[in-house]
Amino acid sequence: MNPTVSEVEKEAQAQLKDIGSREDLEAFRIAYLGKKGKLGELMARLKTLSAEERRDWGREVNRLKGYLEESLRTLCESLPDASTSEGNFDETLPGIRPAVGKLHPISQTIREICRIFGRMGFAVVEGPEVETEFYNFTALNISLDHASRDSFDTFYTDSGSLLRSQTSTVQIRVMEKNDPPLRIIAPGRVYRPDTVDASHSFMFHQIEGLMVDDKTNFSELKGVLYWFLRELFGSSTKIRFRPHFFPFTEPSVEVDIQWGDKGWLEILGAGFVNPKVFEAVGYDTKKVRGFAFGLGVERIAMLRLGIPDIRYFYENDLRFLRQF
Ligand code: PHE
């Protein structure tokens, strides 16, 4: 016996009550609305009916179809989503925090130093790490047979270029292209023929500064460095200037800060730009004067952050890096 529309409807209503999961719902949908489903069977019977009967039959089947589709939609919304572990989703649990990276302590220190000099009007300039002998030595008044060249001779390429041993090279490049007045600082990597230990590395970071105009004097050099060091290490930091020698500055100094019971610690080199350096870049030595300074970023970061060994910076150990 073929069931009538209302028989199918009653049967469906009874089954709808028992649906408790998405799988039940899908099985129901296939049984009634699927290709070979019960509704299709009802529709197929149209052709066995007379023209009059057809109209009523068709209307009834369509009504039932609408009712079933609507029931399915409502149930679908009220049933738990399979992807939230069968409804055990607890929205009060804390979320999963995405891992957010941060800057390496060396980068943090470079940014901090650049920020301080930026407030004094110094622009940040970068230059190449592979340099010619002209920029690394000759223009800086370091002659071929100069004693200080031994500690600066780094890794040469076949074409005679070398890894720069100081970022003073950038000062030469800037002066070649620009006329004074100038105020720049040059952060970057430098290379030295040093044996690695707790305080030395064959590669480290430097920041060098240069200020050139027609009237700058030694008090200004002292003023700039005092302000910088007190911004960095605290306003009560004690600072000392000691005479020193650098081929590219004359007179030259080394600057120390007092560091707890460790006494005086050398923190940077500085001096008035040697006229020979101005000659190398084509400046008129009678009209321009300026000062330069250079410091090691690692040394400053180690002091400020209390890091005992320079090698920690380069080992990429997250247990170390996460502390800063
Ligand atoms: N270039 C020097 C060094 O690497 C530092 C320095 C820079 C000294 C500029 C004086 C002037 O040690």
pLDDT at residue 253 above 80? Answer: yes
Q: Structural domain boundaries of the chain? A: 5-84, 105-321
Q: Say what the pLDDT of residue 160 is.
A: 86
pLDDT at residue 89 above 90? Answer: no
Q: Say what the pLDDT of residue 120 is.
A: 96
pLDDT at residue 103 above 80? Answer: yes
121-139 residue pLDDT tens? 999 999 999 999 999 999 9
- Strand 239-246 and strand 130-131: the pairing is unpaired
Closest ligand 1 atom to residue 167 Cα is 1
Which residue minimizes the CA distance to atom 7 of ligand 1? 294
Least confident interval from 1-10, 26-35, 84-93:
84-93
Q: Say what the pLDDT of residue 151 is.
A: 74
How far does residue 178's CA lie from ligand 1's centre (Å)? 21
How far does residue 28's CA lie from ligand 1's centre (Å)? 83
Q: Say what the pLDDT of residue 81 is.
A: 65
* pTM for the model: 0.71
Percent of the chain with pLDDT over 70: 97
Q: Residue 236 — pLDDT band, cuts 50, 70, 90? A: very high
Residue from 152, 167, 168 whose mutation best tests the ligand 1 pocket (most atoms within 8 A of CB):
168
Q: Say what the pLDDT of residue 1 is.
A: 64
Least confident interval from 50-54, 61-65, 167-171, 306-310:
50-54
Q: Say what the pLDDT of residue 3 is.
A: 87
pLDDT at residue 73 above 60? Answer: yes
Show the 3-state SS of the chain. Answer: CCCCHHHHHHHHHHHHHCCCCHHHHHHHHHHHHCCCCHHHHHHHHHHHCCHHHHHHHHHHHHHHHHHHHHHHHHHHHHCCCHHHHHHCCCCCCCCCCCCCCCCCHHHHHHHHHHHHHHHCCCEECCCCCEECHHHHCHHHCCCCCCHHHCCCCCCECCCCCEECCCCHHHHHHHHHHCCCCEEEEEEEEEECCCCCCCCCCCEEEEEEEEEEECCCCHHHHHHHHHHHHHHHHCCCCCEEEEEEEECCEEEEEEEEEECHHHCEEEEEEEEEECHHHHHHCCCCCCCCEEEEEEEEHHHHHHHHHCCCCHHHHHCCCHHHHCCC
175-234 residue pLDDT tens? 999 999 999 999 999 999 989 999 999 999 999 999 999 999 999 999 999 999 999 999
Q: Residue 147 — pLDDT band, cuts 50, 70, 90? A: confident
Least confident interval from 2-6, 92-96, 120-124, 151-155:
151-155
Q: Say what the pLDDT of residue 202 is.
A: 94
Beta bridge mates, 187: 207
The answer regarding whether domain 105-321 maps to CATH 3.30.930.10 reads yes
Mean pLDDT of all residues belonging to the chain = 92
Q: Say what the pLDDT of residue 87 is.
A: 61
> 């690394």: which residue's tokens?
136
CA–CA distance, 121 with 186 (Å, rounded to integer): 13
Q: Say what the pLDDT of residue 86 is.
A: 56
How far does residue 247's CA lie from ligand 1's centre (Å)? 9
The arithmetic mean of pLDDT across residues 261-274, rounded, is: 95
How far does residue 293's CA lie from ligand 1's centre (Å)? 6
Q: Residue 275 — pLDDT band, cuts 50, 70, 90? A: very high
Query: By the 8 A CB rule, do 214 and 257 touch?
Result: no
Q: Say what the pLDDT of residue 96 is.
A: 85
Residues with a CB atom less than 6 Å from ligand 1: 166, 168, 208, 246, 249, 252, 269-271, 292-294
The arithmetic mean of pLDDT across residues 16-28, rounded, is: 89
Q: Say what the pLDDT of residue 94 is.
A: 85
CA–CA distance, 278 with 272 (Å, rounded to integer): 11
Q: Say what the pLDDT of residue 163 is.
A: 94
Q: Say what the pLDDT of residue 23 is.
A: 86
